[in-house]
Structure formats: structure tokens, C-alpha cells
Structure 1
């Protein structure tokens, strides 16, 4: 989800949030309501620095947000300590609310599904489907991971009585799930940091939600926050929340966000940057060459340095995803996909 999900040290969080100075939501530094667009946020513990509360009333009334997804759990037994408070406060403020679980495929899917369901069932009422946030494979191959995913989703539905939704991003679904079309009966929430709404992956005919930025600024939230768009009207969101998971469609397909110089850098082909990262990892380049490559791609000096520092940190920890980078080098992927991949590697470190 925001690709910076877990609580980390301040230094690691700063490195992971390298996109924050690079991506702005729909044409404005502060996310406001845009006519005809149903927008929302997703939040986790790091939107509550020092435990400071989110002003959900302002998020809805001034910030113009219509819905919110709140991180509920991760793995077999970790709960977001702010989940109950944020889910209730967002609902009380008039937003449609959903919960999400960050998947740990190295651990048992049924145990995780039951734990997630227990958090949701025992917590405040929610309106949107429970979400599986699937971003890492933790060593499972595509067939194993698809089986893991199906067991999790089936158990969540059995335990909550609600059909869940899948959150993922393009590179992961193509390369780690072999672009399987086995899950098209579930709604899709796709992350893609770009101007143009992305095409669906995995045989889906449409997105239900599009996460277009991990660095929006919304009144009532004191940190950068993920920005999302629902693929439908407000009335269709009401239908979706009531259980018609086929409601919506057609809005994103016809919508082109205003051009943004900041977003254009993320829409470029990632090959040159990937080559520079692999060269640095192999000792053929120094950090300055990677910084230069990032500057040539259009990043400012701060973001270019952040990218280089993140790569150096991952390489020093032995967590740089070399095989994924080689796949990305020959595949059709954008700079935005690369940054998501690197941040997920940091989460696994």
C-alpha cells in the first residue's frame, strides 16, 4: 500500500519515502475534492507520528475525501494499535471505511486470515470489503503464491461474510503471480504512480480502486498519505459498499489526470536507472553515477540522493532484489514500478 507500510527507524522511513517529494496528487499540493472524482486515502501507523490523532472530520469535509482504508493487521498476529480508533473516527466522519491486511506469505494463510478477520469482526463496523495487501512473495513461486492467496481470501470471506478485495502493483502481479487471471471474481485495487489510469492486470476487466500516489497531502493528516480514486460515481461507491462489488467502472477509463512534471518522471521507462543500480551493485559504478542517472531521468538532487542512498542501504544489507531488477531491465516497466519494488525490498530487510 503506500509502499512504506511497516514502522521503521526514522532514517529508514526517510529513505523509503523518497517518492514523497516527487509525486503530487491530482494537480495540487494539497488533495482537495475534484468534481466527478471519488477520492480517498489509506493509512497505517506511520500516519500517527507520536500517536497524534488524524482529524477525520477535516479529512472528509475540508480534504474532500470520500473513503478510507485503514491497516488492521500484518502476518499471523500483529495489529495496528490505531486501527479501531481510526476506523471508527473515519466512519463517524462520514467516510466509507475498509480494513486491510499486509500479507506475509512465509506464514500460514489460514492463520493470517483468521487473525485479520478477528480484528475486523471485533472492531468498528466497516463498509468496504476487507483487503489483502499482496506485495511480497517471501520465497513462494507463482503457483504456490496463488494457492496461498486463494486460501487466505476464501478464509477471510468465510470468517467475515464479506468477499475480499486484492491490492497489488503491476510488476508484482506480472512477475510474482505470472499475471494469473485466477482472481478476477474479486475486486482489484491497483497501485500505479502515474498520470494516466493504469490498465488492469491479471485478466480483470476494470480496476475498482487506483492508488495513484503515496505522498498526497490532505487536511487533517499530518504526514504524506496514499491517494486513491474509486472507479465510479458516489452513488456507485454506495452500491459497492452495500455489497455490489461489480458497481462502478468507466470513470478511470475515461479520465486523464492533468499533466504533472513530477509525475512524468515516474512514467518513464525504467531501464536506464535499473542498469545504473545493477552496475552500482556489481561495483562498476559508484553512487555518483547512479545519482547522475537519476538526475538525467528528471529527479531533483534530493530525490536522486535518496534513491542512491536507498540502493546502497539495500546492497549493504544483501537485500537488493537483483533478480527482479534484471527482469525489470528487459521488461516493459516504468520508473514508478522500480521505486515500488525498491521500497518493498526495504520492507523485507
Structure 2
């Protein structure tokens, strides 16, 4: 980690971008260097309606926040906004048309994740059921605004019918600016393992380049399933958050693996430091489908000046927020899954901690 003093960090941040809000939407974490980072606070439900697998976004580092969910009665990809990362309101459907490649008889969209690529370009990664191969594939759609409507690419960007399909895509930007796609192979549809992979993306945010690397895979302790990956960087460590066990049971949870390289190798964190959330903790039931973002890291995308890189890698005034879902009926997904959140998730030397 690069160490800078607070006064230098403030000057560099002011020079880094003219779009950073003077008033942060939530209190920022102070610069490390002997100062104490606040604990991650779990709160919910913040949307007490069916809003599963929430993905979150803070466009240009300024409120309003955006959250996107799996299909429900609220739309193909319902979205909500918040000015303070506390009170949320449903707004509409960000992806009314998922593309001609999506089956018309099975047109639900799963686990959308939206990332800002430039100041006027947003990419949504989502899962749909392919009309041509009868498996889940990952699609991408673009918009000039975070509210959309997003325009889909004419074909999915990733399919793996032989392994059972692919699902749960999320984006990630590493220090230095490289974009990645992270996803799960849907092997449980064929009674097979469910490895999670990472692969570089081109600067357009949706064209896969290079080769895929396996990050982790499911084991007996995971109930045979790992899914819903979300990758975040903090102070030299990469944290891969994921859910394990069946989504429709109280065994569903949020856990994580760590590495000091974006592509791994990754080590699943064990008790007592993981899982991060299990049923009953903080009043949750079947917590899962989390999206975790490093707010300032997600904001500093364009351009990547030396001052911005210093701030990114020093963690100056950064904070990590997350959203996840929890069963409304306290038993299973049958009653819908409400959105919950974590403000200021604590990440330190490969360990994530929260308070209720």
C-alpha cells in the first residue's frame, strides 16, 4: 500500500477529477495510517419487497445510488435509487428488452450488475435463458445513463452449454484500470461443480479478451454450490465474495475468498472469519446474492492519472458498501427476497468484518 499524508491526499483528490461531489453520500473512511476504520454496519430490509440479487452503483461518485435486481413483478430488471444509501425507492425497469437471443418462453433476467465504463457509458451484465441452446448465457447491454433503458448486444457475450451454462456475471476494475468479468459456471444444473472464473475485458466493457482463470470451485462444505461472485480490491488484497448452498434454503450464506492478485490463486477464508453472514446473524434469513463495491475505486475510471492511482492504491477516503438479499418470510425464497445493505464494510489484511 502506498502511504500518503492526509493533506497530500486531499490535494491529489481535488486534482484527480472535477466530478467528485464535495459532500460524500455517506461518511468516507479516513486515510489509514494508525486511524481506525469504522465497522461495516448491516441494515435491512431497506427495500421490503421482492428485489433479489441486488447490484449497486454510485455513478460518477455522486448520489443518487442505484440498485438493480433479478426479474420480479416490478419488471425485467427493476431498479431503485437512494440519495443517502439508507432510503430506497423503486423507479422502473432498466432492461425492458433483454435481446432477441433470450427465450421468449423463459424471459426472466438474473443477477444484473451495472458498471460505469466512461463518464457517459454504462454496461449491464445479466443472465438470460438462451433460445438457441436452452442454457443460461451472459449478456451485456449499454446505456448513456444508469437508469437506461439499456440496449442489449445482439448475442450473448458468454455461453458454456456443455458445462450447464453460465450465470451470475459481475464486473470488476483492478488497480491500473484493467476491466474483468467474473462469473459462475452453472454446473449444479447437471449435478456438477460450480467453478467461478475471471477473464479480462476490452476497454468497451463487454468484449472478452485473453483467457479465463478459475478462482474457486464448489466443495462439500459449500453444499456443492458457490455462486453470486462479487470482487473488490482493498489495500493490496482482492476479496471475492460469494454465496454457497441452495438459494432457496436457510443454509444460503455470504462468504469470501482472498488473494493478492486479481486472477489468484484464491483462498477461501475459514471460521471464525467466514462466512460473513449466515441465517440468524443480524436478523437475516438465507442472506446471499451480494454485490460489494469499492466506491472511490469504482468511481475513478477516467482518466487514470498518477494522482488518481496514488489515491486508489492508498485507500484515501475510500469506503466499501454492499447490498444483498434476505428471505422475506424468514424461511425460503418462496415469499420473495428483500434488499439489505452493509455500509462501510471493514476489510483488513484479508479479513472482512461487520456489526449488526
For the criterion TM > 0.5, the same-fold answer is no
TM-score by length of 2: 0.30
Q: Which structure shows the higher strand fraction?
A: 2
